[in-house]
Every structure is written in C-alpha cells, then in structure tokens.
C-alpha cells in the first residue's frame, strides 16, 4: 500500500494556512488511498539543531567506522531520511518567512540533504537518490508573489524548493500557493479565504 509523508513547518498552530491545506490534502489522499499509511512529521516539535562540526564529521565517516557517539549524533538525521525513503509521496506545508522557507524547514533540509544518502556524485556529477517520489508543496505567503505581481522577484521559496528536490532526485513536483494570507490578520474571513484553496486540493483528487 502507498505511503504519504505529511510534513508541517508553520509555527502558527490552528491559525496556520499551510496546516489547513496539508490537513485537507491528507484527508483527500486517505479517501483516495484506503489502507494507505500516513507518516506525520511536525517540524515545530522535532528537536532540530543547526549542523556542527561533530555532525559533519560523523556524516562523512563511513558507516561501519562510526563510533557510538557519531551514530547518536546522526540518529535524528537517519530517522528523517528513512521517512523520505519509506514514503511514495510527500506533502509539505510551508509558510513563506522572509521570502524563503521557515528556519525549521531549513534545519530539516540540512539534516536530510546528505552525501551518500539522499544524493551522490557519480563520475563527478550529482545524482539524486530519492527516485520515483512525488512531492506536493502547499505554500502560504503573507503578500502576493505570484507570476506578474510586483513582488514576484522576491519569491525565493518555490525556486529554492524546486531546485533542492530536483537535486535530491524528486522531479515530480506540484506547487500551490495561498497568496495574500496576511489579510487574515486584518479581519478577512478565513473560511472565504481558504475555500478556493481547499477546492483546488479536492480537484487534484477528483481528476486523479
């Protein structure tokens, strides 16, 4: 049976737009895949830390030569990469923070982008090792950064994610952005704002 990795990174809790989108995606995915497995990962409650010298040294030590301390250092990274390999499909909830991904998501990326694990160099050329996976990115932005908008060039979120996951071997990707979410902080109706976004997610499964 298929497996979905559901990952959230917004610190906004119940007010989060990206979490509302991933919840809708998971609900529809489960209906379309009865018996499928969902792996849930909340980065705001995952003990992520910045990479340090010990981590880098452990990662570049051959697995069969790692000390107990090095294995412990890489334990979380091993768990996170195992989730990526065990899932057939991913759905990521990502709010734009300062024109890019949240700090928690970047810390997660640093833990899973590992030479010899999720990518390798073959004859001097990079090769992604996450083959045959499908990734859905559900993004919330406070302003409008879509094609043709005045702030389009400020959007580093989608280009970064597309580039990174392509490097890791994930070429089947889709992006949906709920732009203008800052209006919810100034009295805009949440249900009205979310309605077209939820409908777009439902449509993915209606035509699947």
Distance CA 55, CA 73 (A): 6
Is residue 3 scored above 90 in pLDDT? yes
pLDDT of residue 174: 97
List the structure tokens of 155: 């959007």
pLDDT of residue 142: 96
Distance CA 37, CA 18 (A): 21
SS3 state of residue 80: helix
Q: For residue 113, which of 70, 34, 55 has the smallest C-alpha distance?
A: 55
How high is the mean pLDDT of the chain? 96
Q: How many domains does the chain have?
A: 1
Region 67-75: mean pLDDT is 98
Phi-psi region at 35: left, alpha or beta (left = phi > 0; alpha = psi -120 to 50): left
In the chain, the N- to C-terminal Cα span, in Å, equals: 17
| Beta pairing, strands 119-122 & 125-128 | antiparallel
Is residue 207 scored above 80 in pLDDT? no
pLDDT tens for residues 86-113?
999 999 999 999 999 999 999 999 999 9
Name the residue range of residue 140's domain.
3-206
Q: How confident is the model at residue 206 (pLDDT cuts 50, 70, 90)?
A: confident
**Is 39:5 a contact under the CB 8 Å cutoff?**
yes
Is residue 208 scored above 60 in pLDDT? no
CATH classification at residue 110? 3.40.50.360
SS3 state of residue 171: coil
pLDDT tens for residues 107-134?
999 999 999 999 999 998 999 999 999 9
pLDDT tens for residues 134-185?
999 999 999 999 899 999 999 999 999 999 999 999 999 999 999 999 999 9
Distance CA 137, CA 25 (A): 11
């Amino acid at each position: 049976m298929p497996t979905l990795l559901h990952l959230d990174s917004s610190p906004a809790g119940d007010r989060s737009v990206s979490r509302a989108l991933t919840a809708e995606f998971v609900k529809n995915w489960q209906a379309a895949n009865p018996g499928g497995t969902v792996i849930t990962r909340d980065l705001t409650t995952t003990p992520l830390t910045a990479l340090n010298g010990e981590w880098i040294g452990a990662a570049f030590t051959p697995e069969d030569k790692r000390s107990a301390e090095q294995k412990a250092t890489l334990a979380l990274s091993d768990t996170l990469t195992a989730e990526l390999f065990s899932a057939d499909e991913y759905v990521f909830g990502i709010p734009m923070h300062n024109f890019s991904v949240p700090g928690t998501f970047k810390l997660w990326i640093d833990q899973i982008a590992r030479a010899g694990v999720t990518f390798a160099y073959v004859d001097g050329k990079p090769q992604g090792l996450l083959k045959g996976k499908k990734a859905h990115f559900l993004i919330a932005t406070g302003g409008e950064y879509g094609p043709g908008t005045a702030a389009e060039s400020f959007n580093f979120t989608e280009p970064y994610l597309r580039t990174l996951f392509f490097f890791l071997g994930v070429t089947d990707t889709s992006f949906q952005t709920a732009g203008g979410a800052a209006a919810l902080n100034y009295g805009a109706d949440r249900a009205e704002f979310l309605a077209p976004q939820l409908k777009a997610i439902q449509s993915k499964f209606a035509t699947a």
